[in-house]
Amino acid sequence: GDSVTQTEGLVTLTEGLPVMLNCTYQTIYSNPFLFWYVHYLNESPRLLLKSSTDNKRTEHQGFHATLHKSSSSFHLQKSSAQLSDSALYYCALSLTNAYKVIFGKGTHLHVLP
Amino acid sequence: GALVYQYPRRTICKSGTSMRMECQAVGFQATSVAWYRQSPQKTFELIALSTVNSAIKYEQNFTQEKFPISHPNLSFSSMTVLNAYLEDRGLYLCGARRDRGKRNTLYFGAGTRLSVL
């Protein structure tokens, strides 16, 4: 079935260092939508990035990701981590002709000063 | 902008009792509403998807008998957890999708956190 696998658990890094959170997916559908959601404690999960176009970089708020269908990946990157980036990050998959969104298990990013 | 409100934010119920939670879309028409549960140490698990003018579709391991959902109009949905037990505790999220513009994007509420005693 359709699934999402992402860097699990806690990722700790120092402010100013680059961020990379891995996400790969599995689906038989050829045109999936991939998303990154950011979830701060006691707030709504918020859409950070989304893409359905192969090999096109998408950017928002300093984060970027490129959907690579050849490797079924949608890794989240940022050149320089900030303290305010500390949150839970979820990679998610949706199929164009369905309303179902499938989430990965989430990655807790903790940025240290 | 699109906003989704959930009520209550936190609730505690006794084992075997029921608890109703609400989801309100503000500023857009929610043509479909997805209810998710995040159990402790787990990811968001889809319970059911409710789309206007279509039957509510429940995922495996979730039933209408346990999680009845009402979606009476394009701005409101509610779900009840019937006979709640310890395994039902967690964060229940409502995700609403608008009809056009942000296709396939879910806008989430902040969730209802259910504790069961």
Could you report the per-residue pLDDT of A36-84, keeping only the tens digit for each?
999 998 888 898 999 989 999 999 999 999 999 999 999 999 999 999 9
| Count of domains forming chain A | 1
Concatenating the DSSP letter of every residue in chain A gives --EEEE--EEEEEETTS-EEE-EEEE-S-SSEEEEEEEE-TTS--EEEEEE-STT-EEEETTEEEE-BTTTTB--EEESS--GGG-EEEEEEEEETT---EEE---EEEEEE-
Q: How far is B38 from chain A (nearest CA, A)?
A: 10
Of all residues in chain B, the one with the smallest CA distance to A44 is: B110
Residue A94 has pLDDT above 80, yes or no: yes
Q: Supply the pLDDT for residue B55.
A: 86
Q: Which residue has the higher pLDDT, A64 or B106?
A: A64
From B4, B43, B46, residue closest to A44, measured CB to CB = B4
Residue of A nearest to B56 (CA): A99
Q: Is the dihedral of CA A84, B114, A9, A46 positive or negative?
A: negative
Fold of B3-112: Immunoglobulin-like (2.60.40)
In which domain, by residue range, is A38 found?
3-112
How many beta-carbon pairs below 8 A join chains A and B? 47
Question: Which CATH number do you get for residue A57?
Answer: 2.60.40.10
Interchain pair A106, B43: CB under 8 A: yes
Chain B CB within 8 Å of residue A9 CB: no
What per-residue confidence (pLDDT) applies to B99?
61
- For position B104, what pLDDT does the model report? 59
Q: For residue range B15-72, list pLDDT tens digits in order.
A: 999 999 999 999 888 888 999 999 887 888 999 998 877 889 999 889 999 999 998 8
Q: Is A105 on the interface with B (CB under 8 A)?
A: yes
